[in-house]
A and B are shown apart, each in its own frame.
Chain A
Amino acid sequence: MARIGVFVCHCGTNIAGTVDIVKVIEATKKMPMVAHVEENKYNCSEPGQAAIRDAIVKNRLNRVVIAACSPRMHEATFRRTVTAAGLNPYLMEISNIREHCSWVHSDAKDDATEKAIELISMAVAKVVRHEALFPQKVPITKKTLIIGGGIAGIQAALDIATAGYKVVLVEREPTIGGRMAQLDKTFPTLDCSSCILTPKMVDVGQHPNITLMTYAEVKEIKGFVGNFEVSIIQKARKVDHNKCTGCGTCWQKCPEKVDSEFDLKLGKRPAIYIPFAQAVPPKPVVDTANCRYTKYLRWVADGKQGKAPPQCRICEKICPTKAIDWEQTDQVITEKFGAIIVATGYQPFNPKVYTELGAGVFPDVITGLELERMMSASGPTSGEVKRPSDGAHPKEVVFLTCVGSRDEQRGRPYCSKVCCMYIAKHAIMLKEHDPEVNCYVFYMDVRAVSKDYEEFYKRAQESGATYIRGKISRIRQEDGKLIVRGEDTLLGEMIEIPADMVVLGVGMEHNAGASTLAQSLKISYDINEFFIEAHPKLRPVETMSDGVFVAGACVGPRDIPESVASGSAAAAKVAALFWEDFLIVDPMVSTIDQAKCSGCLLCTKVCPFKAIDTKVLRDGRTVAVVNESLCKGCGLCVAACRFGAANLRGFTQQQLLAELASILT
Chain B
Amino acid sequence: MPIAPFREAVDAVALAGGEALKQCYQCGLCTGTCPWNLVKSFPTRKLIHQAQLGIVDFESEDTWTCATCRACVARCPRGVAIIDIIRALRNIVAEMGAGHLPDSLRVTMKNIAGTGNPYGEPAEKRTDWINDPELAPVTENAEILYFSCCVPAYDPSVRRLARSTAKVLKKAGVRFAVIGAAENCCGESVRKSGSETLFQKLAQNNIAAFAKSGINRIVLTSPHCYYTFKNEYPKLGGNFEVIHFAEYAAQLLKEGRLKPIKPLDAKVTYHDPCYLGRHSGIYDAPREVLRSIPGIELVEMPDHGPDSICCGGGGGRIWMETKKGERLSDLRLDQAAGTGASILAAACPYCILNFEDSILTTDRVGRIEVKDISELLAEAL
Contacts and interface: CB of A to CB of B under 8 A. Distances in A.
A joins B in a complex = yes
Interface stretch (A232-240, A384-392, A401-409, A495-503): A495-503
26 contacts: A438-B7, A440-B5, A446-B25, A457-B25, A461-B22, A461-B24, A462-B23, A464-B22, A469-B26, A485-B2, A488-B53, A490-B26, A490-B46, A491-B49, A491-B53, A493-B3, A494-B1, A494-B2, A494-B3, A495-B2, A495-B3, A495-B4, A495-B53, A496-B3, A496-B4, A497-B5
Interface of B: 1-5, 7, 10, 22-26, 45-46, 49-50, 52-53, 78
Interface in A624-650: none
Q: Can you list the 9 inter-chain pairs with the closest CB atoms, starting with the nearest?
A: A494-B2, A496-B2, A461-B22, A496-B4, A490-B49, A462-B22, A495-B3, A490-B26, A466-B52
A458 to B, nearest CB: 6
Nearest to B1: A494
Contact of A458 (B23, B50, B52, B53): B23
A467 interface: yes
Given A462-B22, A462-B23, 8 more contacts: A458-B23, A461-B25, A467-B26, A467-B52, A490-B49, A495-B3, A495-B53, A496-B4
A495 B46 CA distance: 15
Nearest to A440: B5
Given A458-B78, A490-B46, A498-B4, A467 B53 contact: no
Interface string A454-483: 000110011010111100000000000000
Nearest to B19: A462
Contacts of A438: 7
A558 to B, nearest CB: 25
Given A458-B78, A466-B52, A493 B2 contact: yes
A394 to B, nearest CB: 14
A498 B6 CA distance: 11
Contacts of B53: 466, 468, 488, 491, 495
Contacts of A491: 3, 46, 49-50, 53
Contacts of A457: 25
A385 B24 CA distance: 28
Nearest to B54: A466
A421 to B, nearest CB: 15
Contacts of B46: 490-491
A466 B5 contact: yes
Interface string A540-565: 00000000000000000000000000
Interface residues of A, number: 22
A438 B49 CA distance: 16
Interface of A: 438, 440, 446, 457-458, 461-462, 464, 466-469, 485, 488, 490-491, 493-498
A498 B7 CA distance: 12
A496 B25 CA distance: 21
A664 B49 CA distance: 77
A498 B24 CA distance: 24
B243 to A, nearest CB: 37
Nearest to B28: A490
Given A466-B52, A466-B53, A491-B49, A497 B4 contact: yes
A97 B125 CA distance: 98
Nearest to B50: A491
Nearest to B14: A464
Contacts of B52: 466-467
Nearest to A464: B22
A440 B6 CA distance: 12
A430 to B, nearest CB: 15
Contacts of B25: 446, 457-458, 461, 467
A490 B4 CA distance: 15
A488 B3 CA distance: 9
Contacts of B1: 494
Contacts of B3: 488, 491, 493-496
A587 to B, nearest CB: 60
Contact of A495 (B5, B10, B22, B23): B5
Contacts of A488: 3, 49, 53
A494 B2 CA distance: 5
Nearest to B53: A466
B38 to A, nearest CB: 23
B43 to A, nearest CB: 10
Contacts of A498: 4
A493 B49 CA distance: 12
A494 B55 CA distance: 13
Contacts of B26: 467, 469, 490
A457 to B, nearest CB: 8
A497 B53 CA distance: 11
A487 to B, nearest CB: 9
B354 to A, nearest CB: 33
A496 B6 CA distance: 11
A491 B47 CA distance: 9
A440 B78 CA distance: 20
Which among B3, B5, B46, B49 has the greatest number of chain A C-beta atoms within 10 A? B5
Contacts of A490: 26, 45-46, 49
B4 to A, nearest CB: 5
Contacts of B4: 495-498
A462 B25 CA distance: 11
A389 to B, nearest CB: 22
B124 to A, nearest CB: 50
B166 to A, nearest CB: 49
Nearest to B4: A496
A468 B3 CA distance: 13
B32 to A, nearest CB: 15
A289 to B, nearest CB: 47
Nearest to B5: A497
Contacts of B45: 490
A457 B25 CA distance: 10
Contacts of B23: 458, 461-462
Nearest to B79: A458
A458 B23 CA distance: 6
A488 B46 CA distance: 11
A182 B49 CA distance: 36
A464 B10 CA distance: 10
Contacts of A466: 5, 10, 52-53
Contacts of B24: 461
A448 to B, nearest CB: 10
B270 to A, nearest CB: 38
Contacts of A440: 5
A457 B22 CA distance: 11
Nearest to A465: B22
A472 to B, nearest CB: 12
A440 B54 CA distance: 13
Nearest to A468: B53
Contacts of A462: 22-23
